[in-house]
Structure 1
């Protein structure tokens, strides 16, 4: 509904939203107006908790075209399951619940989940469970725009680790980078 209303007002992009005044947005979107105004300007004052407990981990992909053949969808599911399992291996996390997400060509969304009696112990089990879940929606009612694979119901709490890139350079690296930089014309 909001998308249709924004399009009707000529707001199609973040730039379009950024051009609107606070008064305009409040008049048309009520108490959500200030939030749209702030977010279009990169302002978000919600608290960040980098140490919260992770409840799930997943991966998803959006396709350039709607997929209609299981032969095209299933390799994508397997690739996503591999990505999720790689994360499990890196973090030594094990979970019992597998969820497959499907977004249809009409942008309706569905999920299928399965909880196993014990945590998933290997990539093959995750792959089989993921394939079983996607196969439960066959035959397809329409094309598939997006699929995802997620694990949840971890056997132990997994802290959500903040990953900050180390962008610091030692003095020699800075001097070397500066020396190689082209002079402005």
Structure 2
């Protein structure tokens, strides 16, 4: 991307910004393969191998078998019998993340970490005087490889939404550049399931309405979007046209993170509800671990079949340090609510009251942003 690119393509009169999204490739698993040569080229999962264990990260060799983060370990082993489990080392991952962020600071003053292994950088000012955002992204990736022995993929574009999509386009160890004049076409060629902020439930609703791609979404007018998606209409309208006005923000503390799941069939039995809780806790802890976030307050959300919604919270004396502790806190909150006479149609878990809140970052930004109901983790 060079100065003078078509400003009209970004959907506003403001100068075109230059945004890089850097995403480490299979970060946790790659660190383990780097530090243990015997694991290189083999399917590796970071996490517990017990019956109640959960995969925190999977190497690309494991992903070929469908192994993915937040998957129960027993399922992962079934799909990949040769899968090698290694325990997590979050202190190591955090140290490497700090090393990578130090590299970022040489190229951008505005850096917004999303987790230990990914971040947005606003390089509009060309701090390193390399001439273009593309050259900057290339240099950053070279330094990460040279200084950590790890690979990173990058997306370069004029806004956060497209930069994040682009970083996933040529993984692993790839880079994709989408200039303003090509943003809308790039977005419209993608499945709506690739859209960051549109989860499986919303994607399924869209597909039920005949919307499968960005082009399908762009073809819908505002009246149709408002009728089917309410307050999310403007946000969806903009995304389908490659418009995202959110700025890279490096000073927004993480206050909470969570996830929830809406069920097609209401849960009635204690076993079903506890299994759902375990799954949601696994997904939430995966996100917390990636951010290096350790909270002390757990909030449970239940929505019954009559749409009555309740929340219950519990604080613990010491920060929660793993998925098992999060699940234990969730089960302690859930226990007095069982058995239930009404079906459960939604269950959610939120973690808050973090250590070092002033240092943690969330994935928000100013301007148009994804509504909370479309950011469900599940």
Where 1:159 maps in the other structure, the secondary structure is: coil
Instruction: Evaluate the alpha carbon distance shift between residue 136 and residue 17 of structure 1 in structure 2; reply closer, same or farther with a 3 A threshold.
Output: farther
Structure number with larger C-alpha Rg: 1
1:132 aligned onto 2:332:
yes
Q: Which residue of 2 aligns with 1:18?
A: 223
Higher relative contact order (CA 8 A, sep 6+): 1
> Unpaired runs of 5+ in structure 1?
1-12, 20-34, 163-185
Distance 1:60 1:17 in 2: 28
Instruction: Evaluate the alpha carbon distance shift between residue 39 and residue 150 of structure 1 in structure 2; reply closer, same or farther with a 3 A threshold.
Output: same
Aligned length: 137
How is 1:111-122 mapped onto 2 (pairs within 5 angstroms)? Answer: 111-122=311-322
Instruction: Evaluate the alpha carbon distance shift between residue 18 and residue 159 of structure 1 in structure 2; reply closer, same or farther with a 3 A threshold.
Output: same
Q: Which residue of 2 aligns with 1:62?
A: 262
Quote how far apart the aligned CAs of 1:54 are. 1.8
Distance 1:41 1:144 in 2: 29
Q: Report Cα offsets for 1:85-137 as digits up to 9, x if no partner.
A: 11222221100000111011011111111011111122221111111112221
1:160 aligned onto 2:160:
no
Instruction: Evaluate the alpha carbon distance shift between residue 132 and residue 105 of structure 1 in structure 2; reply closer, same or farther with a 3 A threshold.
Output: same
Distance 1:73 1:146 in 2: 10
Q: Are the equivalent residues in 2 in contact too, given 1:120–1:126 (CA < 8 A)?
A: yes
TM superposition score normalised by structure 1: 0.62
How is 1:141-160 mapped onto 2 (pairs within 5 angstroms)? Answer: 141-157=341-357, 158-160=360-362
- Counterpart of 2:277 (choices 77, 80, 83) is 77
Q: Report Cα offsets for 1:2-41 as digits up to 9, x if no partner.
A: xxxxxxxxxxx9x79706xxxxxxxxxxxxxxx96x7498
Where 1:136 maps in the other structure, the secondary structure is: helix
> Unpaired runs of 5+ in structure 2?
1-208, 210-219, 225-229, 365-378
Distance 1:41 1:18 in 2: 12
Distance 1:149 1:118 in 2: 18
Distance 2:270 2:343 in 1: 10
Instruction: Evaluate the alpha carbon distance shift between residue 39 and residue 148 of structure 1 in structure 2; reply closer, same or farther with a 3 A threshold.
Output: same
Distance 1:95 1:84 in 2: 12
Instruction: Evaluate the alpha carbon distance shift between residue 43 and residue 90 of structure 1 in structure 2; reply closer, same or farther with a 3 A threshold.
Output: closer
